[in-house]
Structure formats: C-alpha cells, structure tokens
Amino acid sequence: MSTFSAPKGTYDLLPPDSATYLAVREAMAAPLRRAGYGYAETPGFENVELFSRGVGESTDIVTKEMYTLTTKGGDHLALRPEGTASVLRAALQAHLHRAGNLPVKLWYSGSFYRYERPQAGRYRHFSQVGAEAIGAEDPALDAELIILAADSYRALGLTGVRLLLNSLGDRECRPAYRAALQEFLRALDLDEDTRARIEINPLRVLDDKRESVQRQLTGAPMMRDHLCQACKEYHERVRELLTAADIAFEDDPKLVRGLDYYTRTTFEFVHGGLGSQSALGGGGRYDGLSEMIGGPALPSVGWGLGVDRTVLALRSEGIELDLPAATEVFAVPLGEEAARTLFSVVTGLRRSGIAADLAYGGKGLKAAMKAANRSGARYALVAGERDLAEGVIQLKDLGSGEQRPVPVEALVTEVTGLLARTGTPNG
C-alpha cells in the first residue's frame, strides 16, 4: 500500500488510459492549428484579482471554488480555475494585439483547479483544451470556433453531442433586460444567497440548477425578447453560418454559463451519457473582459472543452479510439552479448522513427516473449549466442508466429520496410 494517495477529487493519468486522453487533446487541437491558432501556455497560478475581476465576484467559481494562497512575500494568488482570463492577460502583457494582425488566435491545453464536491465528471483538478480569438467582433469568428469544437467531437466519433446556443445581448440592450429580470426575481421565494445574487448578477439565477428555483422561473423574461437590433442581426448571422456548415444546434434562452464576462454569443456542448454533469465544454463572446482586467477594448470570443468529460462521453458511447501501438518492435536478447547487440539495434530503430522496446533485466525466453506479447508489438527480435555467431537475428511475426533469420546489418532496413508495407496494428 502506498504511503500517499492523490488528493481527494483529483486523479493520476497513467498508461494505458493516458493514451486516450492524449488522443482527445490532439483531436481538439488539430482543427485549431489548421485554422491558424498558435499555442499559448500560462502559469498554473495568477493574481487573485485577475479572476475576481474577470470571472466575476458573484460567481461560484470566485466565491466558493478558487484555491487561493498567500506567498511568503505577501502576494495573494489563486490556482487558475479557467483559462480565458489567463490567456487574455498573457496576450495583453506581450502586446500581441499591437502587432497589427487581429484577431490574435491562441489555443492552450492544461490543468485547472476548482474546489468542488467530487462526483463523476467533476474533479477538483481537470484537464481542458481551450481557444481564444482576441480583438475582432465578427459573427464569422464565433461560428468558426463553434465549428472547430464540433468538428473535434465528430473526429472522435461522438454522435450524442448536442450544441446549445443563446445570445446574452450587449451593453446597449442588457441593462433594460437586467432591470426587468431583477423585478421578476425579487417577487420570488428565494434564499438569502440567491436574493443577493439578484442584485449582483441576476442572469446567474437563471442558471440555478435547483428544482425549487427552476420551478419559479416559469414566465421569467428572456434575453432573446430584449435584444437590440444589432444583437439580433449578429446572432442570426452566427446561426446562419452554423447551419451552412451543417452544425445542428438548439436555441436555449436560459443558457448563461457560469462566468460573468460573456456578451452576445454563448454556447455549450452537452452529452446525455454524463449524468448530471452533462456539459462537455462551451464558451462565448466576451467583448468587455479586456477592459475589466485593465486592457484596451478588445472584443473576443473563445471556448474551453473538458478532456475528462469527453473521455467519459466516449466510454458512454462505447467508442474505442484508433490508437497507434505504443511499441511496434520488441527485442528479446538471450545472454549479455545479445543484450548489447539488440540494444544497438533498438536504438537504430528508434532513430528511424520506429517505436521499439527491449526486454530488460536479463529475463529468460519465456518471460521475455510474454513481455513482447503484452507490449502490443507486431514483431519480435530474438537473438542468442548461436544467432550472433552466424551474424543474424530472428525476426518473429507475433501475429502469425512465423520466424526467419535476418542479417544484423540489414535488420533496421528490413523492419522499416516491413512496417511501411503492412502498417502497424493498433494497440
């Protein structure tokens, strides 16, 4: 038994499961790279004010879920609970918006932290791939990001993903709606915390998942009925572009997401196979966030997709990804001289781009062949003293069991050619 365990609400990612997580990340990142998004990486912690100002003082993330710490120097820091504020901060600090080529397109991948009650699909440490398009107000950009996310789910083979879409208006039309919503909510029978939220950010009450609250929201004014003409036209253009790209969506007038910085387009990808935590990921437009954190006006849009949640969705649909074998060739040395020779051969194979491994620790033939079969390799290389005396190594097809001698100096070329002709089986 290990002395230590991973902290509550976290997990370790190890083979073979980790290969699926890597494949999911790659499926999310590949469409972004093709669309001109460059990779960004930010620290795992930031100044608390970045999130309290950017994400919002009234959000659960800031009030209940952030991990905060004070350094020996007195700095008040927080482990990052989401990625947008950090990436925008980094872009502003590096003056990327001044390079003259807007929007600045960035994508990122990493771990994020929220102090939540752990349950299936909800961890205190979780993995996301995210994307941000900074500095342009264009419905085509909103549609682009939604399409790129939807395409990554399609590439993974998921069929149960639904896209929910809404508009939260802008600074022109939202104040009047906010006032109408507050008037409606103040008349309801709500607890003290929720009543306080009405005054700070009433839209968040619409997002309350409790049945006792949802029951009372029937007849609540909806943002879609209060959109100004510019927001209506903007949202209709996003919808047209999605439809033209064969992206199905459902209008959800109550979709506000859990962050204060969204304006206009908001969206969420959900999956029925995840239980109560049905969201795979989502995002929206955040035209005022740059100013909130001290930057210039930079209208922007972005999303974050949960890697953990996507893996759960794959499992719920019974999808096994087509993963490359971790090992293509496995070497089985019998004796010290063979171990030296095969070590050199394996090094040569690896340098030729072939995934190769070796039986270490002086295993006998039976144990070493078991290791070769467990590795998922297509071929085994077996050599003993007699083989080396003849200048050959036995090349064994682990699928058919066929075996033949190949000269040592020709081995790398022979194996490379075989794998190129036949392809590598999936592990």
**Residue ranges at the known binding site for L-histidine:** 82-84, 114, 128, 132, 257, 261-262
- To 5 degrees, how large is the angle CA 194–CA 197–CA 198? 95
- To 5 degrees, how large is the angle CA 45–CA 48–CA 52? 125
Name the CA dihedral angle for 245, 247, 252, 258, rounded to a multiple of 10 degrees.
-90
Instruction: Give the separation between CA 19 and CA 2, rounded to whole angstroms.
Output: 24
Q: Nearest 5°: phi and psi at 269?
A: -100, 125
Instruction: Give the separation between CA 296 and CA 294, rounded to whole angstroms.
Output: 7
Give the number of residues written for the chain. 427
DSSP-derived pairing of the beta strands 68-70 and 76-79: antiparallel
CA distances from 252 to 153, 162, 184, 269, 284 (A): 20, 11, 20, 12, 14
Q: Which residues are annotated as a binding site?
A: 82-84, 114, 128, 132, 257, 261-262
Instruction: Give the separation between CA 217 and CA 208, rounded to whole angstroms.
Output: 10
Instruction: Give the separation between CA 250 and CA 253, rounded to whole angstroms.
Output: 10
Q: Nearest 5°: phi and psi at 387?
A: -60, -45
Instruction: Give the separation between CA 319 and CA 313, rounded to whole angstroms.
Output: 9
| Residue owning tokens 């200048």 | 391
Q: Which of 391, 393, 333 is nearest to 357 (CA)?
A: 333
Instruction: Give the separation between CA 205 and CA 59, rounded to whole angstroms.
Output: 11
Q: Nearest 5°: phi and psi at 30?
A: -60, -50
Instruction: Give the separation between CA 31 and CA 151, rounded to whole angstroms.
Output: 7
Tell me the torsion sign for CA atoms 85, 91, 92, 97. Answer: negative
